Chains A and B, each alone.
Chain A
Amino acid sequence: MLLIISALATFSYAGVAIYIAARLVYRAPIPLVGNPGQFGLRYTDITFHARGDRVQIKGWIIPGVLPNGNLTDDRILIVVHGTWQNRTDPAAGVLALSVAFARHGFAVPAFDMRGMGESQPAPLSMGYFEQRDVLGAVDFIQRGGWPYPALGRPRVIGGWGVSLGGATLLLAAAQEPAIRAVVSDSAYADVIPILERQIPSLGGIPPFFTSGVLVAAQALYGINFYAVRPVDGMARIAPRPILLIHGAADTFVPPSNMSELYAAASAAPSAHVQMWLVPGATHAQSFHTEGAVYVQRVVAFFVAALGPDQSAA
């Protein structure tokens, strides 16, 4: 009897965990809404490969616009969107912010992370695989078929990311010194506490299924969610500057995540890290809440970190 009960219980548990893992990692992509051309900006569609596994990533590059109207790609800001979104993401204002960066003289490569937007289908791994997309963007900027040869190769690279994009950017920056400055908005320090809340609510299952789902995701898709801990790599980003932004009213990824990230980054002796807690902002809504102040503050950070545009020099 004990044999039957143990077998039935364990196999049923495994079956449910596998089913939920399959639902967790894929969702039909959301189509893009708009493009930089609608804001009167020039842009070029690009395709590149993620570093390592060569997943095809689609995006665009918006050249920066100088006050005299000339285009520039001297300073690059890689823009990284959030979960189940794409490079236009109106909810977090990703396209609007890309446009704002371009108008402040930064060239903006914005792309759809794997499995989202127009990029190649892939499982959602909350940064575990997606960091390869950011690293692929760096490779493309440094060595790819640059669409604006007349402007020359970019001089410096920075990055802005929101939510999953913010966490992914931190993971990528920890291993890629070419990313010289990072603004991470609403990032998590460790994805497991988020999944421990989200998986039961997504699957309508008791919390004890979570670990089974995570193991199933590893067996099925090779995703090690336990390794998605941007907090562990924060000290490696130093001395490159980091600006952490978080909504004070964020209940999805609580602001304590920013404090954890800040503490970890500050542990490095040569750390340059700042944080900004935006009053009243919910998850990934700091830009919408602060508007022009947000743009001004982020642009000022990047100008200080990457220096002024030197294309005319």
Chain B
Amino acid sequence: MQTDSTAPTNSVSTTEKSAIARGVLAGAIPLFALIVVILLAIVVAALARALAAPAGFFIWRRIAEGAIMLGLVVAAMVYGVATVRALRQAAAWQRAGLTRQSAGVYWTLFVVAVVTLAPLILALTLPQHPTL
């Protein structure tokens, strides 16, 4: 009897976990996309410095600044699109009664918002000792 009652409980628990994991993954996509685009822009800027150095500072500066600015704009766009898609997915799961997935998305998006804000929070809280 004990064996019969334990097996379904484990099965439900695994299903719940995978549902939450799906929600978390869907919610984390904007952050992953943001990190990938920013890293890509930094790598392009570093490559521009290395490869375009013989062409002179004004050339590599333009490429590096262009890559970083473009990276910032693309990152903002990708972040926005990915966030909207994640929110739509969460709403669709909610309508389908998959509340654990949708809750996973919403909570992850909250964490994503906090992580996105982290550089600013760090900048505000980091101690400074300017020469007076």
Contact = CB atoms under 8 A, between A and B. Distances in A.
Interface of A: 2-3, 5-7, 9-11, 13-15, 18, 22, 26, 53, 115, 120-123, 192-194, 196-197, 200, 207-212, 216, 219-222, 252-254
Contacts of B56: 120-121
A199 to B, nearest CB: 9
B65 A18 contact: yes
- Interface of B, secondary structure class, is helix
B120 A13 contact: yes
Given A3-B112, A10-B119, A196 B57 contact: no
Contact of B69 (A13, A18, A207, A212): A18
Interface string B63-92: 011001100100110011001000000000
A143 to B, nearest CB: 22
- B68, B109, B132 pick with most chain A CB within 10 angstroms: B68
- Interface of A, secondary structure class, is helix
18 contacts: A3-B83, A7-B79, A7-B80, A7-B113, A10-B119, A22-B65, A26-B57, A53-B53, A115-B57, A193-B130, A193-B131, A196-B129, A196-B130, A208-B126, A210-B128, A211-B126, A221-B61, A221-B64
Contact of A221 (B49, B79, B114): B49
Interface string B97-132: 000000000000110111011011011101011111
Given A2-B110, A211-B123, A222 B49 contact: yes
B42 interface: yes
Given A18-B69, A222-B49, A197 B117 contact: no
Given A121-B57, A208-B123, A208-B124, A222 B46 contact: yes
A216 B41 CA distance: 12
A126 to B, nearest CB: 13
Contact of B68 (A10, A11, A18, A200): A18
A219 B45 contact: yes
B113 A6 contact: yes
A249 to B, nearest CB: 14
Contacts of B61: 26, 123, 220-221
Nearest to A213: B123
- B53, B79, B110, B113 pick with most chain A CB within 10 angstroms: B113
